[in-house]
């Protein structure tokens, strides 16, 4: 295996390096990728067409919104895939693989610190989601941070404690609803007579101009992404940490 | 010296290939499944590094308009700095679309294309990071299932167990 | 982007990548992989890709490491290579 | 409504998957009807698209209303419409087949199974109709993640095969992504048609980066389609996965990747570049000859029915890759026609293998002992599929091979023609062996356990239920139908093929 790996690495590496000399210099503003009308349009016109100052958010949620919908679907797929691979709904007694990793004791310092941190983390996550139009961040990043706060609960106490907040069923509902919110914006624009995901037409049902309709729809879409990502990140963790039994975490 | 310049202008691309090959080697040569998955993540992040390197422009800043820049067009507006409030200046002589709304938002804001890094590659790589973590999660779940069934996470040991008849 | 910093981070990236793939203890490998992701995040932040860096900080250095550690603790810390 | 058909063909299974995920956990009974209804609606949209394309030419559908290349667009031409329809029909048939199988094989994960199944269909249909190179990567990953899970839901060896598939599949998809990056750095565009225009406008066909991009994309797609030296992940994955999973993965995933290869080669790089400037036809055709021979001979060595069929897929992939690289009209027509024909004949034999596995509980060929009298209809369905794989008229397999051989003769690649004939011969040997076992039973001389097997299998196999038999017979009928109406289908394919003037490509 090692010699096979070495051969393929050498061939691939040589192939990739042979093209490096052909690339434009690093940081060249006049390289084809940076000067072609595609990226120029995204830089100069995004604010005029969507009213969003963060170009990345606008391109992510509007120009390439279809991609982002499937990005959310990838996350959702991963969540469902991990449940279908690992989850065991029937408890068949003692399992040799899931012995306790260490003795669990409630730790005062850990518990208090997490109690203190979790509200702040969640508040920050909400800020990241809501402020994605104006600063780095957005639904995905905020969703991961929000999911991390639930992971912190599960880590600091027990998976059961976290389950009281977010039962398995509710997690999956949240994930599905997130995608439905996203695709719902697309479907709404379809019903109003435009193509899938054309938010501008939504101004008919929003008190806003077409450009502002794009702005507000993007926020809605980001919230949908955040729902799915939060739910699936926690779901993946709880499955991996309990080896699919959902009984006890790490 | 010429050689040094040729490298220094593109050293990002050189090192991305090195990192990527480290990952590829681990994906093929390692027998431990978790190691293979770490190698996979290294491999994928190297590709993301390559894409991000494409979008760099000398002298450009992050692809987010500054607060002041956004409001530069609103000099007629006294409340320009009262928060995130970018409403369209109605009643000016801007072209209107079929619904009677202005077809461009804040038309007097002029943005120079060379001032901001290429946002497109950032968008693509956000998606690629998501794909990477999803694949990592599924790979880890399969690893755990294999550990549950065979009691090991070494691929060659599992092969031996199958060959010797369970 | 200051290219000196860029170069230093890139060298550290290569080092951490090699260490995380060579160390026999998988828990240590996961931790060093987190360091690798964090360095990558720094690099991208320097390249003006703040959104990508933010995501990598949350996903690569955060959640991915947690997933890896969860798997390592649930399976085995030992690695033959 | 009709102008939204390009989006609807994909949105029906997409929305259905989420509804199944949400509602199916509580009420498991809704999973199957929702799946079948959504796939049927998708088939109807596919028919609408095909009608529109045949009458009015290629459809362009702008997602988000943005003008390409700023936004993502669907561009569906004759080839895309045909393959998309074939994918959705196969999806519908497998969905019907899954009614009894899924509760039997994965009893506690029915809703997850159907969710993944519908997401796989969404991904595959999306791959066929998208016109954006990066969007294709995202959809490849959607279908790859679902495939990993659908395989890993099986027993022990399936899980190991799935792990291998994760590693190989990720390398393939990453190579593809890297290739797109190399194209992007030279052209600045992501839309497939726009990349091609930019390559011409900038005159950079000679650039090393474009060559490396071509190699990376081709090798990445080859890994995903299990082309010969890169096929290691396929046989065990498809042989040990749950039967419904292999019945949908076997016919579709490799065929859609071949479609993707044709799409990228002809739309992004162009026939002039691939066959004129590079002129690697000889090497790739020889590789496909190797793939055909290795696949067929390995299939001959198997005693496990499904593993044998999995090796046949590798041989069939060799047919199609070779047919495309023959670089003439007939080869390309044959290759595209074979995508559709092979989707149905692989489906036919995999459905048969699934029925046999469920009804007898055995994996090896001895399970077929004397089945002609016990399951006559099942065997009739299988016979049509087997005849098609061998290439006996009037089944679709005969006509696709006919075009491929014509292409091989026209381009002078005799080794390809000979490999096709040898492979047909081996298929004949394989399937007549099965027919012999099924019709005459195992002769006592063939093994000491023959008598013992007979006793066991006499009581166990029961007649296949209607939901399993119906898709098998429909598939068999479609194989004959595709064969009888081959002229109409080839006429549609020619619409696509005739844009490439192979005659004037300078060699």
pLDDT tens by residue, D266-317: 889 988 888 888 778 888 999 999 999 999 999 988 888 888 889 999 999 9
Tokens representing residue D218 in the block: 């081709």
Q: Which of A25, A56, A243 sits opposite B9 (nearest CB)?
A: A25
Highest mean pLDDT among B78-82, D185-189, D356-360, D450-454: D185-189
With an 8 Å Cβ cutoff, are A195 and D72 in contact? no
Of D17-26, D374-383, D461-470, the poorest mean pLDDT is in: D461-470
* Domain hosting residue B127, numbered range: 1-57+114-166
Is the ipTM beyond the 0.90 threshold?
A: yes
Q: Residues 2..61 of B with a Cβ closer than 8 Å to A: which? A: 6, 9-14, 17-18, 20-21, 24-25, 28-29, 31, 53-60
The reported pLDDT for the residue numbered D446 is 47
Residue B90, pLDDT > 50, answer no
Rg (CA), chain D: 22
Kindly report the CATH number assigned to the domain that includes residue B16.
1.10.287.3510
C8 CB-near residues (< 8 Å, 6+ apart): none
Of A92-106, A162-176, D299-313, D463-477, the poorest mean pLDDT is in: A92-106
Distance CA B150, CA B161 (A): 8
Q: Enumerate the residues of chain B whose CB falls inside 8 A of the CB of residue A33.
A: 54-55, 118, 121
The reported pLDDT for the residue numbered A115 is 87
pLDDT top residue among A183 and B113: A183
∠ CA D130-D131-D137, rounded to 5°: 65
Helix ranges, D188-263 (H): 192-202, 208-225, 234-240, 243-263
Q: pLDDT per residue over A51-96, tens digit each?
A: 888 889 989 988 898 999 999 999 999 999 999 998 887 765 444 4
Task: With cut-offs at 50, 70 and 90, classify the pLDDT of residue B137.
Answer: very high
**CB-hemisphere CA count at 13 Å for D471?**
31
Mutate one of A241, A244, A245, A249 to test the C interface: name it (highest C CB count within 10 A): A241
C-beta of residue A225 within 8 angstroms of C-beta of residue A138: yes
Structural domain count of chain B: 1
| B to D CB pairs, distance under 8 Å | 68
Percent of chain C with pLDDT over 90: 57
With an 8 Å Cβ cutoff, are A198 and D11 in contact? no
**How deeply is D137 buried, as exposed, middle or buried, from its count of CB atoms within 10 A (0-12, 13-18, 19+)?**
buried
Percent of chain D with pLDDT over 90: 37
If you average pLDDT over residues A95-108, what whole number do you get? Answer: 57
* Helix H or strand E segment including D386: helix D376-390
Q: SS3 for C3?
A: helix
Q: pLDDT per residue over D34-67, tens digit each?
A: 999 999 999 999 999 999 888 888 888 888 888 8
The reported pLDDT for the residue numbered A180 is 92
Q: SS3 for A67?
A: helix
Residue D506, pLDDT > 60, answer no
* Helix H or strand E segment including D73: strand D73-76
Task: Kindly list the distances between the CA atom of residue B142 and the CA atoms of A154, D11, D120, D282, in Å, as whole numbers in the listed order.
Answer: 22, 29, 19, 40
User: Which parts of chain C sit beneath pLDDT 70?
Assistant: 1
Tokens representing residue A88 in the block: 């065991």
- B16 domain residue, yes or no: yes
The reported pLDDT for the residue numbered A193 is 84
Widest Cα–Cα separation across chain A: 65
Domain boundaries, chain C: 10-74
What rounded mean pLDDT belongs to chain D?
A: 86
The reported pLDDT for the residue numbered D246 is 87
The reported pLDDT for the residue numbered D244 is 85
- B76 domain residue, yes or no: no
Percent of chain A with pLDDT over 70: 92
The reported pLDDT for the residue numbered D439 is 79
Distance CA A145, CA D114 (A): 30
Nearest CA distance, A191 vs chain C (angstrom):
33
What rounded mean pLDDT belongs to chain B?
A: 79
* Helix H or strand E segment including D320: helix D305-325
- B107 domain residue, yes or no: no
Of B134-143, D421-430, D463-472, D489-498, the poorest mean pLDDT is in: D463-472
Q: Residues 96..125 of B with a Cβ closer than 8 Å to A: which? A: 97, 99, 101-102, 104-107, 109, 111-116, 118-123
| DSSP for D398-467, written as a single string | HHHHHHHHHHHHHHT-HHHHHHHHHHHHHHHHHHHHHHHHHHH---GGG-TTHHHHHHHHHHS--PPPHH
D273 CB-near residues (< 8 Å, 6+ apart): D199, D205, D214
Instruction: Say if C67 is an interface residue toward chain B (CB within 8 Å).
Output: yes
The reported pLDDT for the residue numbered B1 is 56
Residue B94, pLDDT > 60, answer no
- Closest C-alpha to D172, from D255, D247, D231: D231
Q: pLDDT per residue over D228-274, tens digit each?
A: 888 888 888 888 888 888 888 888 999 999 999 999 998 899 888 88
Distance CA D132, CA A156 (A): 45
- Closest C-alpha to B35, from A126, D48, D395, C81: C81
């Amino acid at each position: 295996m090692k010699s096979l790996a070495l051969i393929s690495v050498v061939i691939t590496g040589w192939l990739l390096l042979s093209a490096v000399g052909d690339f434009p210099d690093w940081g060249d503003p006049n390289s084809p990728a940076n000067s072609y009308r595609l990226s120029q349009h995204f830089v100069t016109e995004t604010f005029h067409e969507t009213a969003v100052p963060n170009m990345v958010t606008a391109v992510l949620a509007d120009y390439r919104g279809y991609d982002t919908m499937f990005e959310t679907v990838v996350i959702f797929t991963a969540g469902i895939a991990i449940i279908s691979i690992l989850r065991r709904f029937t408890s068949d007694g003692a399992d040799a693989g899931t012995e306790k990793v260490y003795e669990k004791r409630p730790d005062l310092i850990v518990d208090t610190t997490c109690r203190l941190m979790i509200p702040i983390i969640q508040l920050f996550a909400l800020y990241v989601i809501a402020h994605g139009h104006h600063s780095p961040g957005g639904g995905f990043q905020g969703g991961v941070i929000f999911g991390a706060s639930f992971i912190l609960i599960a880590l600091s106490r027990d998976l059961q404690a976290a389950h009281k907040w977010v039962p398995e069923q509710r997690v999956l509902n949240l994930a599905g609803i997130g995608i439905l919110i996203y695709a719902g914006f697309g479907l709404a624009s379809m019903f109003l007579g435009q193509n899938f995901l054309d938010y501008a037409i939504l101004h008919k049902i929003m008190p806003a101009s077409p450009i502002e309709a794009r702005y507000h729809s993007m926020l809605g879409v980001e919230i949908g992404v955040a729902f799915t990502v939060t739910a699936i990140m926690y779901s993946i963790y709880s499955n991996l940490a309990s080896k699919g039994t959902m009984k006890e975490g790490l | 010296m010429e050689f040094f310049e040729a490298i220094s202008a593109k050293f990002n691309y050189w090192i991305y290939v090195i990192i990527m090959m480290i990952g590829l080697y681990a994906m093929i040569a390692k027998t431990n499944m978790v190691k293979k998955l770490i190698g996979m993540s290294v491999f994928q992040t190297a590709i993301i590094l390559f894409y991000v390197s494409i979008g760099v422009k000398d002298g450009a800043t992050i692809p987010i308009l500054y607060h002041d820049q956004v409001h530069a067009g609103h000099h007629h507006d006294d409340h320009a700095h009262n928060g995130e409030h970018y409403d369209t200046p109605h009643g000016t002589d801007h072209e209107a679309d079929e619904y009677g709304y202005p077809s461009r938002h804040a038309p007097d804001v002029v943005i120079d294309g060379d001032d901001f890094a290429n946002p497109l590659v950032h968008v693509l790589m956000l998606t690629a990071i998501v794909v990477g973590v999803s694949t990592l999660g599924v790979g880890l779940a399969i690893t755990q299932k294999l550990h549950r069934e065979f009691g090991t996470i070494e691929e060659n040991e599992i092969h031996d167990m199958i060959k010797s008849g369970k | 982007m200051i290219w000196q910093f860029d170069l230093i981070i890139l060298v550290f990236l290569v080092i951490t990548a090699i260490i995380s793939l060579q160390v026999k203890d998988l828990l240590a490998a996961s931790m060093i992989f987190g360091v690798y992701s964090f360095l990558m995040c720094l690099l991208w932040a320097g390249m003006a890709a703040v959104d990508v860096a933010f995501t990598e900080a949350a996903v690569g250095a955060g959640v991915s490491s947690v997933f890896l550690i969860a798997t390592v603790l649930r399976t085995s810390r030992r690695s033959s290579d | 409504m009709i102008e939204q058909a390009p989006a609807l063909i994909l949105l029906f299974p997409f929305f259905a998957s989420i509804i199944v995920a949400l509602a199916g956990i509580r009420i498991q009974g809704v999973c199957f009807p929702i799946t079948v209804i959504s796939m049927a609606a998708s088939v109807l949209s596919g028919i609408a698209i095909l009608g529109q394309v045949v009458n009015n030419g290629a459809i362009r559908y702008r997602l988000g209303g943005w003008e390409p290349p700023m936004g993502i667009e669907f561009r569906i031409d004759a080839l895309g419409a045909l393959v998309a329809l074939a994918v959705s029909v196969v999806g519908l048939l497998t969905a019907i087949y899954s009614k009894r199988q899924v509760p039997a094989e994965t009893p506690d994960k029915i809703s997850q199974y159907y969710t993944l199944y519908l997401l796989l269909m969404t991904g595959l249909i999306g791959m066929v109709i998208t016109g954006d190179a990066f969007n294709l990567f995202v959809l490849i990953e959607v279908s790859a993640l679902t495939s990993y899970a659908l395989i890993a839901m099986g027993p022990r060896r399936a899980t190991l095969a799935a792990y291998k598939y994760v590693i190989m599949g990720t390398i393939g998809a990453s190579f593809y992504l890297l290739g797109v990056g190399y194209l992007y750095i030279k052209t600045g565009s992501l839309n497939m048609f726009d990349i091609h225009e930019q390559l011409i406008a900038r005159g950079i066909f000679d650039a090393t980066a474009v060559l490396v991009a071509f190699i990376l994309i081709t090798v990445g797609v080859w890994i995903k389609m299990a082309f010969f030296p890169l096929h290691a992940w396929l046989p065990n994955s498809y042989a040990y996965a749950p039967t419904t999973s292999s019945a949908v993965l076997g016919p579709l995933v490799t065929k859609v990747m071949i479609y993707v290869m044709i799409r990228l080669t002809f739309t992004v790089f162009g026939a002039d570049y691939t066959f004129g400037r590079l002129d690697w036809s000889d090497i790739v055709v020889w590789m496909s000859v190797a793939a055909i021979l290795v696949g067929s001979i390995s299939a001959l060595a198997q005693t496990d029915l499904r593993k044998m069929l999995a090796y046949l897929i590798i041989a069939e992939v060799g047919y199609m890759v070779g047919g495309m690289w023959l670089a003439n009209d007939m080869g390309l027509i044959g290759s595209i026609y074979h995508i559709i024909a092979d989707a149905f004949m692989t489906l036919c034999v995999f459905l048969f293998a699934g029925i046999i596995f469920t009804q007898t509980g055995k994996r090896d060929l001895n399970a077929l002992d004397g089945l002609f009298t016990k399951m006559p209809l099942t065997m009739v369905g299988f016979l049509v599929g087997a005849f098609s794989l061998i290439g006996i008229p009037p089944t679709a397999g005969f006509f696709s091979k006919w075009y491929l051989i014509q292409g091989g003769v026209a381009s002078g690649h005799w080794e390809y023609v000979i490999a096709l004939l040898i492979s047909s011969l081996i298929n004949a040997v394989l399937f007549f062996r099965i027919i012999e076992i099924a019709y005459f039973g195992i002769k006592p001389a063939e093994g000491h356990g023959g008598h013992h097997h007979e006793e066991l299998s006499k009581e166990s196999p029961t007649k296949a239920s209607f939901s399993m038999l119906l898709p098998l017979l429909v598939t068999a009928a479609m194989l004959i139908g595709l064969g009888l109406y081959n002229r109409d289908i080839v006429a549609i394919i020619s619409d696509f093929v005739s844009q490439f003037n192979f005659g004037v490509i300078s060699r």
